């Protein structure tokens, strides 16, 4: 049995693997790049080893460096997680050649299933239904255009290599084919170094249903039922669930049977996923699904299948990789309840899912994480920095319920009470997805998010307003004084009392009277995290805001003069623009502070000579820190 394991990955999947290894008594070695030197998976592992610069091509994609690190630390095996080198047959071969155990399927299986045309050929041989299309060797424009006319439009152009939605183009009519083909080939060559494509009949309203399979070297192959991964944006999964809604037993039997047949036909070992496409405009029947591809690794969404089967897939991977037989037979595997997973990403759905990076100031669900009804799988905690270098997913929220309806209600509630402050987040967007009528009805499909548009991606205006008013209320809670003249209760002669509070979100600042902004009764109740004296993280309906109480008195003092330059908020000094002894004029730039994902120029409050500089470039500074002091005028 494996006793020591190097994890050639990062983030939440590395942490997830470490948790199972701890329970099994397996020693763990975490690999990390410069960007991840203080990452959660590094802190969790028994040993951590540096493998290179932040860029993945110089670290997490350097198979030779990873293998050398594994040898140096005396591990038995390498687990690739998902992404990076997890489906790289050459890396798997190199691991085995180095005398190490590869936690994954055999390299020849990875190679065969990694090319979509070869995978579809093998599926056809195994009797698995495949969509009509072209998978020929000839790749010239004339041949491909002719094949497209035979298939009919609309159709999909798909890169043979790779995945992740790259190298895929939808073609609605013949006149668009040539330009879309050129675009798909360019992207495939850039992403995978392989510009070959296949053509496939397009299912206009597709559902994405996949089957989890496991095999061992003893010839045993089982399935862990199906997952529905139809809720996607830009062909990237957003919300997954197990089992698939509306799945009849006869359809389940046909689909899982096809997946197991394909796995057996290639002698599959370890964890794998057979993905199918289903026509969402037609009933879910035994003849209404087609093979899409096979992922020869652990999937991001594997926890939902774990929750409904009660199995630990990482444990099964380690057992099978050690040469042992699967400890479960098909008859041992049951299906209980319903599980849903939501991918938490550092991105802004309202800005086209633009990814973000920076310091996480508050993060996580307020609900109790028991591991049975609620799992929180994350690679980050408050105080960690999200680097701009890698995928935007930073955590997964998984909820189990006795029924699908219970799981949906619980997921929506937990998302409402999950906070992400400091970087852009998609938590509110996820809540709107699972609350949508289409999701409740099980009628969602791969294009549903794009079709819904702003209704899902843009937060309701009432959410930010409620967050701002919550901070106003905090300021106005205690306005008493030692005598009547000290009360700040907004009393006015011959008029209703009016209390005002200063607030700022981003670059927008104002002084508001909360009574002037009534909220609808169905507006979610905000919850507030105090970050510092004047900074609050507020979450309303899953949409989080950083609300600041601006110090207008300090600003006025600075404009009028003063003997120091102060940091107006916590941040990082990017640069200092003056030296001790420099003579500066009022308003001259003294330094640049990076805070709230923006650069802020700090200016001299008056003219004079710089007598002291109290920070250095690169320092993290707190609100109110003295940056520079002034001497004589």
Query: What pLDDT is recorded for position 33?
Result: 98
Longest dimension (CA), the chain: 90
342 phi and psi angles, rounded to 5 deg: -120, 130
Positive or negative CA dihedral for 37, 41, 43, 49? negative
Q: Which among 7, 108, 103, 109 is positioned nearest to 319, based on CA atoms?
A: 103
Domain of residue 244, residue span: 205-336
The pairing of beta strand 564-566 with beta strand 508-512: unpaired
Residues 282 and 328 in one domain: yes
Give pLDDT, residue 21: 98
Using only C-alpha atoms, the chain has a radius of gyration, in whole angstroms, of 28
Q: How far, in Å, CA of 218 to CA of 221, rounded?
A: 9
Task: Say yes or no: 515 and 600 in one domain.
Answer: no
Name the nearest CA neighbour of 345 among 379, 312, 311, 297: 379
Q: Give me the pLDDT at residue 492, please.
A: 55
For residues 371 and 19, give the distance between their C-alpha atoms in angstroms, rounded to a whole number. Answer: 12
Whether residue 161 is found in the same domain as residue 256? no
The verdict on 349 and 325 lying in the same domain is no
CATH of the domain at 355: 3.30.470.20
- Domains: count for the chain: 6
Q: What is the CATH number of the domain that holds 565?
A: 2.40.50.100
pLDDT in tens, 241-286: 999 999 999 999 999 999 999 999 999 999 999 999 999 988 899 9
What's the length of the chain? Answer: 633
Determine contact, residues 239/231, Cβ cutoff 8 Å: yes
488 part of a folded domain:
no
Residue 292 CA to residue 373 CA, distance in Å, equals 31
Which of 201, 227, 252 delimits the end of a domain? 201
Residue that terminates a domain, selected from 153, 168, 201? 201
526 assigned to some structural domain: yes
What pLDDT, on the 0 to 100 scale, is given for residue 49? 98
pLDDT at 478: 63
Q: What is the pLDDT of residue 482?
A: 47
The token pair at 134 is: 């072209």
Catalytic-labelled residue, pool 297, 343, 435, 535: 297
Is there a single domain that holds both residue 233 and residue 323? yes
Percentage of the chain surpassing pLDDT 70? 94
Q: pLDDT, tens digit, for every residue of 384-429?
A: 999 999 999 999 999 999 999 999 999 999 999 999 999 999 999 9
CA-CA distance, 552 to 453, in Å (whole number)?
A: 39
Q: CA-CA distances (angstroms) from residue 190 to 99, 121, 195?
A: 33, 26, 8
Q: Is 297 a catalytic residue?
A: yes
What is the per-residue pLDDT for 557?
A: 53
Indicate whether 493 belongs to any domain.
no
**What are the pLDDT digits (tens) for 435-468?**
999 999 999 999 999 999 999 999 999 999 999 9
Q: Is 7 helix (H, G, I), strand (E, B) or coil?
A: strand
The predicted structure's pLDDT at residue 597? 55
Cα 359 from Cα 357, distance rounded (Å)? 7
Q: Which of 550, 574, 593 is the last residue of a domain?
A: 550
User: What does pTM read for this prediction?
Assistant: 0.83
Looking at the fold, whether 296 and 351 belong to one and the same domain comes out as no
Query: Which residue positions in the chain have pLDDT lower than 70?
Result: 162-164, 478-498, 552-561, 596-598, 632-633
Q: With CA atoms as reference, report the closest residue to 623 among 605, 596, 597, 603.
A: 596
Residues 326 and 229 in one domain: yes
- Whether residues 450 and 572 share a domain: the answer is no
Q: Report CA dihedral (184, 190, 193, 195) to the nearest 10 degrees.
A: 20
Q: Among positive and negative, which fits the CA dihedral 348, 378, 387, 573?
A: positive
- At 487, give phi and psi (nearest 5°): -70, 135
Give the pair of three-digit tokens for residue 7: 């994890």
């Amino acid at each position: 049995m494996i006793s020591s394991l190097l994890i050639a990955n990062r983030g939440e999947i590395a942490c997830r693997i470490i948790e199972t290894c701890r329970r099994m008594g397996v020693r763990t070695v975490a690999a990390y790049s410069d960007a991840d030197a203080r990452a959660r998976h590094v802190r969790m592992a028994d040993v951590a080893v540096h493998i290179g610069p932040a860029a993945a091509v110089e670290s997490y994609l350097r198979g030779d460096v990873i293998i050398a690190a594994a040898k140096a630390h005396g591990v038995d095996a390498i687990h690739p997680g998902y992404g990076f080198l997890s489906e790289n047959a050459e890396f798997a071969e190199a691991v085995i050649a180095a005398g190490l155990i590869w936690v994954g399927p055999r390299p020849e299986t990875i190679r065969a299933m990694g090319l979509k045309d070869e995978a579809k050929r093998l599926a056809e041989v195994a009797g698995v239904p495949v969509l009509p299309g072209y998978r020929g060797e000839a790749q010239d424009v004339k041949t491909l255009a002719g094949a497209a006319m035979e298939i009919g439009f609309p159709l999909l152009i798909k890169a043979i290599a790779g995945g992740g939605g790259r190298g895929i183009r939808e073609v609605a009519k013949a006149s668009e084919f040539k330009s879309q083909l050129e675009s798909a080939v360019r992207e495939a060559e850039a992403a995978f170094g392989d510009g070959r494509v296949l053509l496939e009949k397009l299912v206009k309203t597709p559902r994405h249903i996949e089957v989890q399979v496991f095999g061992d070297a003893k010839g045993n192959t089982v399935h862990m039922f199906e997952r529905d991964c139809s809720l996607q944006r830009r062909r990237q999964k957003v919300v997954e669930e197990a089992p698939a809604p509306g799945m009849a037993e006869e359809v389940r039997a046909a689909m899982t049977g096809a997946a197991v047949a394909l796995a057996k036909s290639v002698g599959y070992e370890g964890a794998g996923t057979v993905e199918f496409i289903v026509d969402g405009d037609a009933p879910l029947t035994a003849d209404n699904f087609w093979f899409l591809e096979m992922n020869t690794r652990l999937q991001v969404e594997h926890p939902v299948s774990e929750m409904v089967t009660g199995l630990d897939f990482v444990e099964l991977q380690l057992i099978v990789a050690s040469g042992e037989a699967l400890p479960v037979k098909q008859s041992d595997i049951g299906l209980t309840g319903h599980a849903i997973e939501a991918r938490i990403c550092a991105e802004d759905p309202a800005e086209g899912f633009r990814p973000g990076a920076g310091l996480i100031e508050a993060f996580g669900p307020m609900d109790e994480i028991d591991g049975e009804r609620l799992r929180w799988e994350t690679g980050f905690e408050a105080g960690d920095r999200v680097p701009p270098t890698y995928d935007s997913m930073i955590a997964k929220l998984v909820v189990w319920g006795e029924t699908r309806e219970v799981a949906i209600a619980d997921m929506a509630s937990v998302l409402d009470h999950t906070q992400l402050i400091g970087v852009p987040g998609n938590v509110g967007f996820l809540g709107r997805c699972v609350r949508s009528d289409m999701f409740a009805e099980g009628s969602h499909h791969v294009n549903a998010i794009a079709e819904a548009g702003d209704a899902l991606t843009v937060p309701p205006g009432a959410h930010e307003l409620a967050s701002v008013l919550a901070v106003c209320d905090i300021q106005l809670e205690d306005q008493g004084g030692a005598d009547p003249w000290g009360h700040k209760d907004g009393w006015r002669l011959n008029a209703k009392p009016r209390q005002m509070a200063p607030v700022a979100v981003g670059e927008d600042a104002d002084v508001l009277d909360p009574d002037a902004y009534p909220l609808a009764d169905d507006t979610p109740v905000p919850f507030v995290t105090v970050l510092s004296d004047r900074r609050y993280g507020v979450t309303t309906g899953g949409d989080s805001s950083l609300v600041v109480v601006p110090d207008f008195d300090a600003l006025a003092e600075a404009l009028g003069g003063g003997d120091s330059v102060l940091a107006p908020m916590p941040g990082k000094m990017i640069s200092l623009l003056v030296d001790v002894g420099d003579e500066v004029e009022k308003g001259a730039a003294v330094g640049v502070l990076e805070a709230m994902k923006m650069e802020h120029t700090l200016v001299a409050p008056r003219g004079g000579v710089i007598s002291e500089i109290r920070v250095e470039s690169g320092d993290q500074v707190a609100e109110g820190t003295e940056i520079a002091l002034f001497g004589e005028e």
